[in-house]
Amino acid sequence: MQTKSSKTLNRTFAVAPMMDWTDRHARYFLRLISKHSLLYTEMVTTGAILHGDRQRFLDFNAEEHPLAIQLGGHEPDELAKCAKIAEEWGYDEVNLNVGCPSDRVQNGRIGACLMAEPKTVADCIKAMQDACSVPVTVKHRIGINGQESFEQLVEFVSTIAETGCDTFIVHARIAILEGLSPKENREIPPLKYDWVYQLKSLFPSLSIIINGGITTLGQVQEHLIHVDGVMVGRAAYQTPYLLADVDKLLYQCKKPAPNRHQVIEQFIPYIEQQMATGTRLHHLTRHILGLFQGLPGARLFRRHLSENTHKPNASIDVLKTALSKCTELSLT
């Protein structure tokens, strides 16, 4: 169990919770690039915490702070128990998922389908707030099919805000709950950033964080003119060096970010430590495939890792050989 961070949360820039991607190894790696970005876990269901391997789902590295956990559930009592556990575990924020559109999640009455039940969400948020003292936040869409008007979005937010919840992370697309895959739900419904801006205008006392389709820090800065923070998802994972300028541009940090070479040098001891406990090399290096995106040798770097890290006897030498493919940034 980790020591609880005493830092005040700054949500100017956050990396989104992404299933199968933002595990503890990915978060440790991203933290090497940006010290101030708020990081989120993958969504963890209440059942996994209450009835599963708690250490597997909740453990993290102390270096990951500031760190929020995202919970998936719909029962206030279960979410309250999990929020209390998460606080005791050392998380800085507890977030409720009301945005995931996948069939598997819907079948558990989790995620975006709960946008049709604002009172249920409010009951969940209130129970979580009563159970813990860390911030409780909600991540949601601007609507779902059949509930697609701005007025319904306002009703949803106002209902939740009555609990005292003051932070809303808004994915600026509706979720279509039938007929589209999660991937299609990230691409097909049109982005309506203006709706999120209008929410901030209507609820100036709330902290409104915008999410969806944001791929550059220039876009981040434009959004920050209108809202309190920006959450970036796939771009932060697939091109992680995007985070290198976050601390300087958004947090006025004077210390220069490490270059890609230095990031890998700092990550190698962590990889060796994790491999010594039985973690396979692939489970660690899969998160760094996009580090050299756009540079000479990037494709060879990715290919070498992809083809060799799965092998039973793969060692740290596989990574060092892959680095040599990036001639300008290879280890010496």
Q: Which residues are catalytic?
A: 100
246 closest CA partner among 23, 38, 46: 38
In the 8-state DSSP scheme, what is residue 171?
E
Contact 200, 226 (CB under 8 A): yes
Residues 33, 265, 301, 213, Cα dihedral to 10°: -10
Rounded-to-integer distance, Cα 249 and Cα 243, Å? 10
SS (H, E, C) 56-111: HHHCCCHHHCCEEEEEECCCHHHHHHHHHHHHHHCCCEEEEEECCCCHHHHHCCCH
Rounded-to-integer distance, Cα 195 and Cα 198, Å? 5
**The two structure tokens encoding residue 41:** 């876990």
**The two structure tokens encoding residue 85:** 């556990």
Contact 232, 214 (CB under 8 A): yes
> Is the four-CA dihedral 101, 107, 113, 119 of positive or negative sign?
negative
Rounded-to-integer distance, Cα 132 and Cα 87, Å? 6
Contact 174, 148 (CB under 8 A): yes
Cis preceding-peptide flag for 190 (omega within 30 of 0): no
Q: How many CB atoms lie within 10 A of CB 47?
A: 15
